[in-house]
Amino acid sequence: MKQFSVPNIYRSPLISAVKQQRRQDDKLKKDFTPTLLNLGPLQIYLARHFGFCYGVENAIEIAFTTIDENPGKRIFLLSEMIHNPQVNADLVERGVQFLQDTYGNQLIPFEEITKEDVVIIPAFGTTLEIEKLLNEKGIATAKYNTTCPFVEKVWNRSEQIAEKGYSIVVHGKPRHEETRATFSHASLHTPTVVVNDMKETVELAKYITGEKPAEEFYHEFGGRYSEGFDITKHLQKIGVVNQTTQLASDTQAISDYLKSVIIRHYKLTAENISERFADTRDTLCYATNDNQSAVTGMLETAADLAIVIGGHNSSNSSHLVELCENKLPTYFIDSAERLISKTIIESRNWQSKELAIKENYLPNRSPLKILVTSGASCPDAVVEKVIRKLAGFYGVEEKVDEITEAIF
């Protein structure tokens, strides 16, 4: 896989050494057991896969190169390039301005942008409408486009099945940048609707079977279907694609459910299901799959708690928290600063996004076992800082250096 030029401030000697060792020992990536960092009274179990993915490193390289190559120019990002507070803060510090927030609300009017400006498209991609607007201003969007290749793969797959007459059901968070972009690209080619979760999918299926009157659809799914969507026709032949950072198991469950409904309703068999349902499993992101599988493997290890590191609006990080919370006490933080002391932590609720103080989060046990992972947009340097902060609480920070040197 391509190696990217990412600023050293995001790298970590410890994490780089651990990841390199795991790659050597597990070239086929079939071992999802965590890596033990034995610090004596503190045992850290690092997930097999975590941190920057291909798409994130690609976006960071393009963004920082763009800044270096355009001195004196105004440089804008359509929205947060990735969902990581440190990376976005670093870009702002270097003069980059955001045109929109993460939900598409305008921060700087497009009218203020000129053809002399540089506009970077974030890793999530953007809508065709915004791309057209920028191109009409003479802005070279293709030159500074950091859209993740795996997001583009979803767009391409949507177009392919659209050509065969399928409508598209997008599994994604309706307000998320990537979902809005995927919806825009898919709906250019075919009728498209967005579902947030299985609960909404069950309701959508009732329009396939006729259990719900057609007119209710337009209210229930308002703002989430393409122009001209006809609920009486456009769910008769469908394919499911996803926001790539959703839980892969959730997307698969949604796809399997809709498939089963269509099989029953149209009395199909395994041989002719493709007449009405497209196979789109190849749109699931490799990094999302690897990170989620690694958490599943990590959770097989007996531990006292889990810490997930990532931006509060990072979808893939939130889903890692969701997986961990099903098994043991879990804390969602975005930096080592959230570890206030050995007894107090600031943790964020992955659903409400509310930040709250938690007391006595580290049980009085020896050795204390903590599972640690991070989202795909979290720098390895942040993970190391969290590990060092925890080690400092137990007076064993020097052991982190010893482990790094031993691996190297």
CB proximity list for 35: less than 8 A, separation 6 or greater: 18, 21, 22, 45, 46, 48
Of 80, 131, 177, 178, which is the active-site residue? 178
- Decide if 240 contacts 255 (C-beta within 8 A): yes
With CA atoms as reference, report the closest residue to 310 among 103, 45, 82, 61: 82
Alpha-carbon dihedral angle through residues 45, 46, 49, 50, given to the nearest 10 degrees:
140
Helix %, strand %, coil % of the chain (to 5): 45, 15, 40
CB proximity list for 387: less than 8 A, separation 6 or greater: 14, 37, 44, 372, 400
- Decide if 301 contacts 33 (C-beta within 8 A): yes
- Decide if 301 contacts 277 (C-beta within 8 A): no
Q: Is 384 one of the catalytic residues?
A: no
Q: How far is CA 278 from the centre of its chain?
A: 24
Tell me the catalytic residues. Answer: 178
